[in-house]
């Protein structure tokens, strides 16, 4: 029996690659979390201190937003890969 559904095969391979990209990105979360924790420590930005300058507070906020943006970016890249392969 020969399957001639090339569009279905492309969709299946695209989903597999998209899931691989997602898992690859998720595997980088732990090292990024370690770097963020180190940057927020007392010896670096000292984000737990309430008397730091406004610039340091803004930097702490930006450092805190790195991980959620990274996760959203990985999900978007994996979804875009799957969508591009299925649509085209």
Q: Which position has the higher pLDDT, 4 or 26?
A: 26
Question: What mean pLDDT comes out for the span 69-86?
Answer: 85
What is the spatial distance between Cα 10 and Cα 88, in angstroms, rounded to a whole number? 10
Statement: the pTM of the whole predicted model exceeds 0.75: no
pLDDT band for 2, please (50, 70, 90 cuts). Answer: low
**Can you give the pLDDT at residue 1?**
46
Burial 10-47 (b: 16+ CB within 10 A, else e): eeeebeeebeebbeebeeeeeeeeeebeebbeeeebeb
pLDDT band for 4, please (50, 70, 90 cuts). Answer: low
């Amino acid at each position: 029996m020969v399957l001639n559904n090339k569009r279905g095969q492309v969709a299946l391979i695209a989903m597999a690659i998209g899931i691989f990209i997602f898992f690859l990105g998720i595997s980088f979360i732990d090292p990024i979390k370690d770097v963020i924790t180190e940057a927020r420590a007392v010896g670096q930005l000292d984000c737990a201190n309430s008397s730091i300058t406004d610039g340091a507070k803004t930097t702490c906020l930006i450092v805190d937003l790195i991980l959620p943006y990274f996760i959203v970016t990985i999900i978007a890249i994996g979804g875009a890969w799957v969508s591009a392969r299925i649509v085209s």
